[in-house]
Amino acid sequence: MANKPMLPELMKTHGISRRAFMKYCASLTSLMALSPAMVPRVAHALETAKRPSVIWLSFQECTGCTEAITRSHSPTIEDLIFNAISLDYHHTLQAASGHAAEAAREQAMKENYGNYVLVVDGSIPIKDPAFSCIAGISNLDMLKETAAGAAAIVSVGTCAAYGGIGHANPNPTGAVAVSEVIKDKPIINVPGCPPIPVVMTGVLAHFLTFGIPELDELGRPKAFFGESIHDRCYRRPFYDKGKFAEGFDDEGARAGWCLYKLGCKGPTTKSACATVKWNNGVSFPIEAGHPCLGCTEPDFWDGGGFYKPLSVPAGDYRKMGVAAVAGGAAIGVASALLAKAGKAKAAKAHETVNAHDLEKSS
């Protein structure tokens, strides 16, 4: 395998100026929730680090994760990261096919053993491994073989992180997450259906510059999955004031009121959707008028109706975590009761009270 050029050489080849590179490093530092003082260190790490070999395996999936990470506007962080790593195997993107494709994977594994990054999207069927195969090799066997020499594994998408739609009841293929098969390697979960492109590349960049990022209890990078969508949502003030859209075309919906009653799972979903957004930071589902489906959380497909509020029983919430669901519902109910009680008390005392007064008094 030929020597891989360093990042400065690639920057020059692609016409990327030093100024543009530093702006990229500043954006990347912000995305990773690091101090602005870390920008020079990020730049130095990217310029001097050897381009790591990346092997991307796609199993039981819809190709949505690949579609997401490749649909970018130039110049972008995604484009730079793809040029800063050596993507040695990806059967959707690579030119080679058949024996040549598998030879590329085997060569990358051999020459970079112990140092390459393994990216996986899609769940793994274990009920019958023959349900999903690549080049005559079952997903289960290919995962075990490729993971053996990986420095770390990045499970991209909810299918790889938790089992996703394949794992949903009745789970005919016995689909499982990567972490249920591989137990001896560090695994970074980047869930989403699909994940935000910048989040995927941001995680790869963090690994390249600083190693494994700080993870939460579900193996997700805290920089991107540390807070709920609800807590960062621009509709949150309406939620706190008890203003909810009752339908997709009513006055509340047109005024941008909270979508909680239309089934929004934002209160129980951790993701950077409300801050990083999609399409180069243009929008995200809630901003487009659609409630959050909770796709970055385990078993979101089995959580009941997408358009039923969290407080309405619509499935087996015992598996989803009754406390989390009830807690989200209780906040909304408590806000409404507080508003009603405050107004009743004010009316009795002949006072005029609005939502802003209630916020100040509480």
pTM: 0.76
**E strands along the chain, which residues?**
53-58, 86-90, 116-121, 124-125, 133-134, 137-138, 150-156, 175-176, 187-190
C-alpha distances (whole Å) from 345 to each of 184, 251, 342 are: 61, 28, 5
| Residues 263-281: tens digit of each pLDDT | 999 999 999 999 989 888 8
Residue 25: what are its φ and ψ, rounded to 5°? -60, -40
Highest averaged pLDDT of the listed ranges 2-11, 59-68, 349-358:
59-68
Residue 52 has pLDDT above 90, yes or no: no
How large is the C-alpha radius of gyration of the chain?
Answer: 23
DSSP string, 222-260: HHHHSSBHHHH-TTHHHHHTT-B-SSTTSHHHHTT-B-G
Residue 125 structure tokens: 């069927």
Q: How many CB atoms lie within 10 A of CB 15?
A: 8
Average pLDDT score over residue span 155-167: 97
Q: Is the pLDDT of residue 64 over 50?
A: yes
Contacts of 305 (CB under 8 A, 6+ apart): 263, 314, 315
For residues 347 and 350, give the distance between their C-alpha atoms in angstroms, rounded to a whole number.
5
- 73, 79, 64, 290 alpha-carbon torsion, rounded to 10°: -40
How sure is the predictor about 31, in pLDDT bands with cuts at 50, 70 and 90? low
